[in-house]
Amino acid sequence: MDRPTLKTRLSDFEFVKLWLSSGSAEEAAEGLIGLKVESVNARANKLRKSGVNIPKFARKKQTTNIAGLNELIDDIRGQQQLFGNQEQAD
């Protein structure tokens, strides 16, 4: 299958083939030149609502850099104390 562009409208069959051959919505979007991940997800959701059993990709977990955030807070508080404009927290 040639890589489609925005000017090439994929049929639902072609879209499902692309979706199933991809490991993520991002990868499916890369296969569609010029389309955003949001557009690819929207089309997959539309197909699901129509009754098509197109699988969902696992969501990527966002990791929180707790140590980095706490360091940022300490740095900002230290700067506020340096300049004498520390605000009271509620």
Q: What whole-number distance in Å separates Cα of residue 3 and Cα of residue 31?
A: 6
For residue 28, which of 51, 55, 48, 7 has the smallest C-alpha distance?
55
Residues 6+ apart with CB under 8 A from 26: 37
Q: What is the pLDDT of residues 29-75, one digit of tens each?
A: 888 767 888 999 999 999 999 999 999 998 777 788 889 999 999 98
Q: In the prediction, which pLDDT does 60 show?
A: 73
For residue 40, which of 49, 31, 50 has the smallest C-alpha distance?
31
Amino acid identity, residue 13? F
Q: What whole-number distance in Å separates Cα of residue 82 and Cα of residue 68?
A: 21
